[in-house]
Structure 1
Amino acid sequence: MANNEKFQWDAIYDVAVLGFGGAGATAARFAADQGAKVLLVDSAPEGHEGGNTRYSGQMVGAGTDYNALKNYHEHLAAPLKPDKAAFDNFIEGMANMGDYFRKYLDVEPVSMKKLLAGTPSTAYVTEYPELPDADSYDDYLVHEGVDDAALWKILRQKVLERSEKIDIWYASPAKHLIQDGITKTVIGVQIERDHVLRNIKVKNGVVLATGGFENNKEMIQTFLQAPYLSPIGSLYNKGDGIKMLEEVNAQLWNMRSFESLGQFHGLSLRQKEGLRSTYALNVFWQESFMGSVIVVGDDGTRYFNEAEMNRHGHIYNHGDWAVPLNQNRPYMIFDQRKYDELKNEPENSFKVPGYLEKAIKADTLAELAEKIGKRQEKLQMTVTEFNFMAQQGKDYAFHRDPKTLRTFNAEGPYYAIALRQNMLNTQGGGRRNGHAQVLNPDGQPIPHLYEAGELGAPFVNKYTTGGNVADCLISGKIAGENAATIKQDLPLSGGLNLNDAIINNDFNSTSDEDKQQYSVGKNQYLGFSNQGMGDGVVVRTTVDNEGKIKNVEILKQTESDDYGLKAVKELPKKMIEENTYDVDAISGASQTSRAIKEAVKDSLSKIK
């Protein structure tokens, strides 16, 4: 929004960082290290901040050979061309990621490539081994573990350690940038705080780090030509940064670029819109594509090779790899023999609990087609053709591995499971230069406006594991340091100068990071754990005079609202019933279960 008149400011900061994910945390930390007073805001409530970084595998793209990394990533981008300055910064950052881990994260990097050496999972690191210099690429971890928010917790802690310089506002979405009408300098931001729009004056720079538009159906339709894609990461990435960029006439780029992940080409169980996709990391589930099983699209026909392992949603397409055209209502189709195999396979019970409970059953293919809204003759023809190819030992349509082909049973029953395409993250945003400055349509920087992370990321075509998290660390540091640089005040229209501020003294801009205090009574003990997916778990355990567990209260938890919340509700009951913290984990919520068990164990250890 443009401003040409004096008006009341509610607070003043040197730097404002919009979005408390991996990129935002990094930008805020490095801005504070430059001496800036920083406001860091997020639309998510406390404990649910973290953006997609929190939900990622915690892998960070890295390597040591700059030239080889550059060559590999140029081939990943081909035939498209990434912006040279932003691209070169990204490559340089990856080539020095080991030093970054040691100097700024205080950990020795763990090489994913070495950790997985000799296993099929190395394909997850080197996703495009046929491209030149693919072997130069690695993923670094902060410890020997994945999918546990370990990196995110370090990034968050680095912010909390700078609490004197960084104020944090949760549940406070940024709504508008405040831009001078003539010079186009971004001089502030409007933030919704407790349902009131607050005008925040920003002296040196605003960093947009709000992530993508994975949860904005209108933008998905506009830019990706799909009605809905199931989000894997944060539910708070709603394209707010895109809206603010459009308001200040920023140049957009990479708006059609997005990544997926999951079963087959990036699918998961279809569920109610607005929920996070479950088990989207289930890329290696071989039993799901072995034998008498196919996936059909909207017209009841096959549309891809079910046995091909996707590369972040990209599958082979006539010499290249691309995310296939979204099908609105895809289904997994299989027979009784396959049903029994899935039911009895141990890996399924671990990775996808309740998967077969979603199956629709019918005695005939015609009846099944009717139940799932497909044309009977199309589905019957598809199965007949698949059976013929299985008998021939050759998939003439999509070249599926012959070892995975098997004819369907001649007699029913048959089954269908509703699937939906996943959305890992979008890459589009404002075009940025090598200084992380956002550019206008003429290629000139918009004064005082910076960008980091998945909003405007430098990935234009194919993508490989850990790239976005690496960019969060790299671009976040660049954006934070440059935003904190003290600027010479530009002449503003209407005679308004950044120093001509009227401060609203009635507004309390205190950080939300005030420490909570927890009380205990007789035979009550507090326990703590930071092993969960969120900020940690605090419990209060009550025991009787003999030390028997009478009650377990979870005073603080920031776990996800799916299986994590199930563990929060069910584990305390099991602990009371069995009189021990060491109970079976809730299926699908191993990380949350581990945190609750550790916290209760900690509380019991304090009994004298």
Structure 2
Amino acid sequence: MSKLTAGTFEGTAPGHNGDITVALTTDGERITDLKLVKEQETPHVGDNAFKWLPKAIVKNQSVGVDAVSGASFTSRGIINATKKALEAAGGKVEDWDKHVPKPLVAAKDQTADVVIAGGGLTGLASAAFAAEKGLKVIVIEKNDQVGGSFRYAAGAFATCGSSQAEDNQVDDLVAWVKELNRHGAKKEMNYDFLHYLEENSGKAFDDLCQITGLKGQKIQDAPYKVLTPGPGALVTERLEAYIKDHGGLILPDTVITKVLTDGSHAAGIMAKNASGSFKITAKYVIIATGGASAGHRDWLEKETPALANVHVFNEANPANTGDGYGILKEAGADFYGHEYYKNAFLDFGWPLRIYYANVPDYSKAILVNADAKRFTNEAPFFVLNLTTALYYEGSPRYYLIYDAKTMDQDFRKKLDSQQEDPKVVVHAQTIEELAKKLSLDPEALAQTFADYQKACETGQDEFGKDQAHLEKFDGSEGYYGLYVMPGCWGTIGGVKINQEFQVEKTDGSYFDNLFALGEMSTSELFSDFYIAGFSLANYFTEAKLLAEKLDK
């Protein structure tokens, strides 16, 4: 093993939201300490990586530790920053890179009242409310840490009837969703099901706050009210603690391999982890394994062929690989047969990553495709529907163009701090120069720009942008061109269920004790695009309503 220089050395590498810097201390022979110096990660999301990895690296004298699944970006940031620090200390990284496997989770047959596959919001909520009733609960989770995509979320719940704060009237909220769907929806949704969940969502939200010890606060007032008990990662930690404090068992690094069924009855599940396979016998089986946004482009392209050319940035948990789909199909479940991406905010190239707390305004920008042409309204009826337009346009690349003088100047400072890169951001004094830097046709972009300027003058835009958002570009300080990708927060689709959340079989009957919740079954709760705040409210309410029906 290569010698190190005694002392403390820093290393920096990209994490999830920005650079991570660590300080590595060595006595010349060994790594004696590893401390976090600087990070910009979302609170609570990467906490397990921060807690476990530095200790594991020091203990094992190796950067070959496995990443914390569910915090993989943060984990890679810590590990790569440590490698930089080792090099600064004069070491050869390959000498300090022996593989260190994760601790094994036991694989043994067990019995429970309720077994839940998936430890995201829906799975944890189901477990918490079942445990509250005194039921013995086991949750299996394929990641090292629970929470799934909910860990990354702002924790926004579009609720009706909460005592925590003024929120929506259910009829008004459903009417607004109907109006939204008139603006481009390609499929229908079940408004009766939505109404049923929303009218129970306020009570479910209040119960969530009670068991987590958190307080609801209003974070959005228009176009509908949204409450939050706190960021998703914090709520996850509270739910996890509640489950464990009430006798529940959570098995990480474990996946479901089969639902054990006898006709229309489920007897439990088979599961496996690195230690082996085992059986969990249970009175109730809940599948809450999430969607299929990672690794199943073919499913999504079948419904939206234009996606074949589009670079979609998956902001959901990378473990959302549709595990529950195959398991339930094998059990004889019926599916809707169409899958859509759950549209998120537009995202930019690294290091201008977007998450819920740093979304810039793009309503007054110009959005163009690879042919340098506009194709949609940059300020649609609902902001997330701009992302859906990119899915359907089918271009291999997109750019947002801002006027340097009239854009948000704080955002401009952030752009100025970046090194020019056509896959991130470029600045130019003229539209023609901007086109060349972005490898776009200069004449086509100039024509698009001229047409837009004319629309701003007349107030008449061919794509329907309203006059309030038609702001003529000044140009005196140049223009910015940002590479932009449509983001996604998961998928819409999944298995068929009824309003008792029972899984439907291919013959039209239902399993009596096999349930699917959350993103595992969303086709009736959305059209072909997502509405912010509705998934958390509806999924959690499903979990609460189901738990109320379970008994010993």
- Amino acid in structure 2 at the alignment position of 1:73: V
Equivalent position to 1:240, from 318, 323, 332: 323
Question: Residues 154-553 of structure 1: matches in 2 within 5 Å?
Answer: 154-162=238-246, 164=247, 166-180=248-262, 183-194=263-274, 196=276, 198-216=277-295, 217-225=297-305, 226-227=307-308, 228-253=311-336, 255-262=338-345, 267-270=346-349, 278-279=354-355, 282-283=358-359, 285-286=360-361, 288-290=362-364, 293-308=365-380, 310-313=382-385, 325-334=393-402, 338-339=403-404, 345-347=409-411, 349=413, 354=418, 358-360=424-426, 368-369=434-435, 372-401=438-467, 404-407=470-473, 409=475, 415-457=480-522, 458-461=524-527, 464-480=531-547, 482=549, 484-485=550-551
- Amino acid in structure 2 at the alignment position of 1:62: T
Q: Pick closer, same or farther for the CA change 1:87–1:294 going to 2, 3 Å.
A: closer
Q: Pick closer, same or farther for the CA change 1:105–1:402 going to 2, 3 Å.
A: closer
Whole-angstrom distance in 2 between the partners of 1:326 and 1:282: 26
Relative to structure 2, which stretch is displaced further, 414-423 or 224-233? 224-233
Deviation at 1:235, TM superposition (A): 2.3
Secondary structure of the residue aligned to 2:344 is coil
Q: Write out per-residue CA displacement over residues 70-122 of structure 1, whole angstroms, 9 at most, x where no aligned residue.
A: 4632652567765577445413312434642465444453344xxxxxxxx53
TM-score when normalising by structure 1: 0.61
Secondary structure of the residue aligned to 1:96 is helix
Q: Pick closer, same or farther for the CA change 1:442–1:349 going to 2, 3 Å.
A: farther
Q: Pick closer, same or farther for the CA change 1:82–1:390 going to 2, 3 Å.
A: closer
Secondary structure of the residue aligned to 2:269 is strand
Report whether the alignment pairs 1:23 with 2:122.
Answer: yes
Whole-angstrom distance in 2 between the partners of 1:107 and 1:177: 35
Deviation at 1:17, TM superposition (A): 0.5
Deviation at 1:295, TM superposition (A): 1.3
Contact 1:279 1:351 (8 Å CA) reproduced: no
Secondary structure of the residue aligned to 1:424 is strand
Contact 2:174 2:191 (8 Å CA) reproduced: no
Query: Which residue matches 1:506?
Result: none
- Amino acid in structure 2 at the alignment position of 1:379: L
Whole-angstrom distance in 1 between the partners of 2:404 and 2:325: 45
Whole-angstrom distance in 2 between the partners of 1:260 and 1:352: 28
Deviation at 1:326, TM superposition (A): 4.9
What CA RMSD, in Å, does the superposition of the two structures yield over aligned residues? 3.9
Q: Write out per-residue CA displacement over residues 265-318 of structure 1, whole angstroms, 9 at most, x where no aligned residue.
A: xx111459xxx95335545x34x554xx4210232200122244744336899x
Q: Write out per-residue CA displacement over residues 435-470 of structure 1, whole angstroms, 9 at most, x where no aligned residue.
A: 221111343212431111222134222654422112
Whole-angstrom distance in 1 between the partners of 2:156 and 2:521: 20
Report whether the alignment pairs 1:69 with 2:145.
Answer: no
Deviation at 1:390, TM superposition (A): 3.7
Secondary structure of the residue aligned to 1:201 is strand
Q: Pick closer, same or farther for the CA change 1:289–1:439 going to 2, 3 Å.
A: closer
Whole-angstrom distance in 2 between the partners of 1:466 and 1:103: 20
Q: Pick closer, same or farther for the CA change 1:186–1:55 going to 2, 3 Å.
A: same
Q: Pick closer, same or farther for the CA change 1:102–1:397 going to 2, 3 Å.
A: closer
Whole-angstrom distance in 2 between the partners of 1:232 and 1:323: 15
- What residue ranges of structure 2 are gaps of 5+ in the alignment? 1-106
Contact 1:27 1:478 (8 Å CA) reproduced: no
Whole-angstrom distance in 2 between the partners of 1:352 and 1:241: 45
Whole-angstrom distance in 2 between the partners of 1:203 and 1:260: 36
Question: Residues 114-125 of structure 1: matches in 2 within 5 Å?
Answer: 122-123=221-222
Whole-angstrom distance in 2 between the partners of 1:74 and 1:445: 31
Whole-angstrom distance in 2 between the partners of 1:81 and 1:341: 40
- What residue ranges of structure 1 are gaps of 5+ in the alignment? 1-7, 113-120, 128-137, 487-608
Q: Write out per-residue CA displacement over residues 480-502 of structure 1, whole angstroms, 9 at most, x where no aligned residue.
A: 454x545xxxxxxxxxxxxxxxx
Sequence identity of aligned pairs in percent? 19
Equivalent position to 2:198, from 88, 91, 94: 91
Secondary structure of the residue aligned to 2:291 is coil
Deviation at 1:370, TM superposition (A): 5.5
Contact 1:260 1:313 (8 Å CA) reproduced: yes
Secondary structure of the residue aligned to 1:221 is helix
- Amino acid in structure 2 at the alignment position of 1:242: Y
Contact 1:229 1:420 (8 Å CA) reproduced: yes
Q: Pick closer, same or farther for the CA change 1:356–1:403 going to 2, 3 Å.
A: farther
